[in-house]
Structure 1
């Protein structure tokens, strides 16, 4: 600015006579007294320009005194402008070394340029956002708050997985955590304890990743994988190592060693076993609460002792809610489907179910039991309790459908001697078709099963014998009263041939079968 004024002064000196030239010091000394200029002279002075150059060159037709006063006024104005600009520059207390101002979001595609350094200092009035783990936010911001260093590391691992860049822990202390890029990137971030917020705060985020993406990250720890896939393993404890490895590859687009996956499953199952062990101590409390909150319910927990002096161990549990029992007796058909299925969780055993059929021919659960194994003793225990709950004294008007389970046929004859016992036609056909396969044999079987009169049934059996006499002989082994409509009782108002309702119920509760007994 001052150099410009000196050049302007030299140009004016060359145009003016020597006796009227003023030095730069005299110009500066006369500048403050410009307000004493006579009004007659000041009236013809042109407007002031920013650079002052035009005001010096436009005075060719004016007198030397007017030019001299005009020069004094211009130089004085430039001096004041220069001083004001210097004061404004000194008032700026904060500046950034990079060309672009730093952004609060550290994971944007533009990111921070190399060498840029973002700190939280000077931002006390700024509202700090809090990290939300359930949202699994893939962006980390300067001044973001975390519960502790462990949560910050977990968040940074999630960020690294999202960006497919590996990082290492340069400092891993209780009060401070610092991470840098494994590659040659200038990336670095630091989080430490904040006395102001009493939690961990992301203080520094330097640079951005410029290295290539990686699909095998060392920073993805076993603990991080356990926290992320704990629920999935808990829902399916029988998941294989290869299956979980594929899930990680599909969801995270990462390759994880099979040994690490194996350790993850083992550690999660240890936690599951601990939770399963704790729930057995509360089974009696759970049974008491079910009885208290559901009037008329029956919940029985049976235990046994492995040794005489040993502790009681869970063996069986029977549940029949009062509301289900009353509504079944009030508005459903007297048909009960019996079936069993395996439990898929840590609690090994089987689930025995009794499913009814309502007025809309839809399934209606009545009672269920968790037993150690499906055999004659477990079925007898279950059906005896069911018979008592439903208050079945006269079994003549009842129909029980089964899949020919082991020990169940004899128990039904023992506890329900006068009831109608049906066998699922699909299971009969599955066993019969092992020797007699083909579409022709299948059609003949279902034609025989759907016959509504005894004469029609005998006629269709004769037709089957003409096609394959051995097939007819093998089918006659099964009692037609248990699988043909022509021999079903009519008082129950139900002519079902299969036990699909029980099968559908077992399929509906597939996910629930892997969960613990106590919800």
Structure 2
């Protein structure tokens, strides 16, 4: 702490008290007070303060004598009354008038302004010098009263500059509004004031989250929306959920307003575009509805229905139109025509199938990416030529089948797995159908090891022959007698194995056998005996379990 800071504390506590001499005394000190004349005295005072943090500070007013620089003739007071006063009273009045004259000089500087390029003129300052005062030009001894005057002067400058900037900003924004909005477009004074608002986006304003708040939109004044479409979608969803006849007023570009046309209902909501932003903010909102529910909703269009029920239609593309119509009426409680429901389902199916078409169109990119990352991979893409032949152009060709065997998987199987391959196929559930053919091996941990897979148009002898020929080439099957294949009893697969690998061992999957016979031979007993026979490691144990199984059902043994 310095002596100037101590002066400022005294001025803050007691106001302008003139030029003073400062003394202090601690509670535990005896004798006279100690005078504070420099910063070192202040530091000594602070170091002597005990744990009670209490110190007594005394300020004594210093009377200043008139010097040659001081001109009392310039001051406005009654000289006759001044001559009749005592010397002490005369000196006190002269000091107050001197301070008032200094304050007027500061006010004059405020009105004229200060040129930063000019050298500032240092006014003579009054300081305490023993019992008598004198004037000199040492600016380091400026009194705390002068500091207050300087601070007030800077504050007034900042207020004037801020007022000027705010006025320029309001004029600029007002000019923009006049160019595209007329006064006749406003229906209320609140909307007029909201449109001319220059408030920036505040952190305290609630932001509408389209992913979470769109399920049940709630509005409030000041709510922010990312775009005009987001605001419109929220209001339309609100109208459908609450079954209200909400309509949009004329669109003025930067302002959007919805009102309720049900009777004398005063409900309305108004949002406008914020300045220098794409964000829309709710300016006025009357949330009370006085109208009855409306069961006809203009916003429940076929496009809106298709967007909201796309996932359900994707899971059930053959959904009957009548059941779909009843589902919509039951969910929303609104009247929807059967034609609108039909158009909605057709649009949803177009979106679903359109995604599949785009994915099939990216197959060549997939082949190129795999070949670039794993050059030793095998990928065969077969296209179906159009009826007119190649002259119809490449755009007329359609996908037929694809075979994929990744290089790392092939190397891993041939170097570390047993020569056992399982073959199977399954249906693809999609708008275009098809069959997925797979070949898996058995690793050292008795786990499944993927080798190759293919997507074909159907599961028959032709597709299995094509798949097995490519597979035999990739895994290097030269002597087929050393290999074993496991599959179900699909006729096309059995014929293909006989053609491609005639000397290989062919065994049937027990789980497939049991599932094929489950409808006619149900029960725990037959299933247990079947698995005991399958895991038998000797011919004697196999014949034993088969004879026991024959006692349960003869037909099952004949099939085996």
Return the offset for 1:427: 2.8
SS at match of 1:407: helix
User: Where do 1:335-346 residues align within 5 Å?
Assistant: 335-346=420-431
Q: Cα 1:249–1:405, aligned 2, differ >3 Å: closer, same or farther?
A: farther
SS at match of 2:491: coil
1:484-505 Cα offsets, whole Å, 9 max, x none, are xxxxxxxxxxxxxxxxxxxxxx
Q: In structure 2, what is the equivalent of residue 404 of structure 1? A: 489
Q: Cα 1:211–1:433, aligned 2, differ >3 Å: closer, same or farther?
A: same
SS at match of 2:444: coil
Question: Does 2:530 align with 1:450?
Answer: no
Question: Does 2:558 align with 1:476?
Answer: yes
> Is the CA contact 1:165–1:209 (under 8 Å) kept in the aligned structure 2?
no
Question: Does 2:472 align with 1:377?
Answer: no
Return the offset for 1:351: 1.3
> Is the CA contact 1:166–1:219 (under 8 Å) kept in the aligned structure 2?
no
Q: In structure 2, what is the equivalent of residue 127 of structure 1? A: 201
CA distance in 1, matches of 2:224, 2:478: 68
Q: Cα 1:291–1:198, aligned 2, differ >3 Å: closer, same or farther?
A: same
Return the offset for 1:434: 4.5
Q: Which of the residues 405, 409, 413 maps onto 1:320?
A: 405
Q: In structure 2, what is the equivalent of residue 164 of structure 1? A: 242
Return the offset for 1:198: 4.8
User: Where do 1:456-495 residues align within 5 Å?
Assistant: 456-465=541-550, 467=551, 471-472=553-554, 474-478=556-560
CA distance in 2, matches of 1:363, 1:429: 21
1:219-277 Cα offsets, whole Å, 9 max, x none, are 44332333344456457655665787798799x77667583444323102213333433
SS at match of 1:133: coil
Question: Does 2:438 align with 1:364?
Answer: no
Q: In structure 1, what is the equivalent of residue 8 of structure 2? A: none
1:350-405 Cα offsets, whole Å, 9 max, x none, are 11122233333333322211111111111111121122222222333332221222
> Is the CA contact 1:169–1:180 (under 8 Å) kept in the aligned structure 2?
yes
Q: CA RMSD in A?
A: 3.7
SS at match of 1:370: strand
> Is the CA contact 2:426–2:437 (under 8 Å) kept in the aligned structure 1?
yes
Q: Cα 1:472–1:450, aligned 2, differ >3 Å: closer, same or farther?
A: farther
Q: Cα 1:327–1:457, aligned 2, differ >3 Å: closer, same or farther?
A: same
CA distance in 1, matches of 2:516, 2:293: 57
1:305-330 Cα offsets, whole Å, 9 max, x none, are 13124332211111122222223333
CA distance in 2, matches of 1:144, 1:157: 16
Q: Cα 1:344–1:430, aligned 2, differ >3 Å: closer, same or farther?
A: closer
SS at match of 2:439: strand
Farther-moved stretch of structure 1 (358-367 vs 340-349): 358-367
Question: Does 2:268 align with 1:188?
Answer: yes
Q: Cα 1:195–1:405, aligned 2, differ >3 Å: closer, same or farther?
A: same
CA distance in 2, matches of 1:199, 1:398: 69
Q: Cα 1:198–1:127, aligned 2, differ >3 Å: closer, same or farther?
A: closer
Q: Cα 1:149–1:422, aligned 2, differ >3 Å: closer, same or farther?
A: same
Farther-moved stretch of structure 1 (227-236 vs 324-333): 227-236
Q: Cα 1:472–1:383, aligned 2, differ >3 Å: closer, same or farther?
A: same
Question: Does 2:474 align with 1:389?
Answer: yes
> Is the CA contact 1:295–1:323 (under 8 Å) kept in the aligned structure 2?
no
Q: Cα 1:150–1:122, aligned 2, differ >3 Å: closer, same or farther?
A: closer
Structure 2 unmatched ranges of 5 or more: 1-187
Count of equivalent residues: 359
Structure 1 unmatched ranges of 5 or more: 1-114, 479-519
Farther-moved stretch of structure 1 (143-152 vs 415-424): 143-152
Farther-moved stretch of structure 1 (295-304 vs 213-222): 213-222
CA distance in 1, matches of 2:252, 2:196: 25
CA distance in 2, matches of 1:413, 1:273: 39
Return the offset for 1:287: 0.8
CA distance in 1, matches of 2:288, 2:417: 69
> Is the CA contact 1:189–1:204 (under 8 Å) kept in the aligned structure 2?
yes
Q: In structure 2, what is the equivalent of residue 155 of structure 1? A: 234
SS at match of 1:336: strand
Q: Cα 1:378–1:397, aligned 2, differ >3 Å: closer, same or farther?
A: same
Return the offset for 1:407: 0.2
Q: In structure 1, what is the equivalent of residue 143 of structure 2? A: none
SS at match of 2:211: helix
